[in-house]
Amino acid sequence: MEMDLQIQVEEINKKLILRLIGRIDAYSSVTLEKRLKLLLNGKNKNILLDFTNVEYLSSAGIRVLLFADKKLKQEHGSFILFALNEDIKEILKIAGFDTVLFICENEQQALSK
């Protein structure tokens, strides 16, 4: 059974936090990409992704994260991931993207950047 990714959007201090719930795989990464493209076409220059309730991240999901990161860097914005579980941290580290993407331990740290 495929479970779609749930995305709740909240604004704090002119920063958008996307609270992600579920898995980011080949199927659900399309949902995330569509939402990010909508937000990136607006005036949103600071986007934070809350990984507290994300249990899995696939290569398709990483591609979406890299796309959003590149777009926001071009626009002098910020794209921050926070509260990643150890498995997701390890996936990003092995792929070499832990040095490309900005990763914070928690929401408070992410909001202070």
What's the structural domain count of the chain? 1
Residues 6+ apart with CB under 8 A from 11: 17
Residue 1 within a domain: no
CATH of the domain at 53: 3.30.750.24
Question: Average pLDDT for consecutive 10-residue bins of the chain (113 residues)?
Answer: 82 96 96 95 92 97 98 95 98 96 98 95
Q: What is the pTM of this model?
A: 0.95
pLDDT at 6: 97
The number of helices, as runs of H, and strands, as runs of E, in the chain is 4, 5
Residue 44 within a domain: yes
Domain housing 17: 6-111
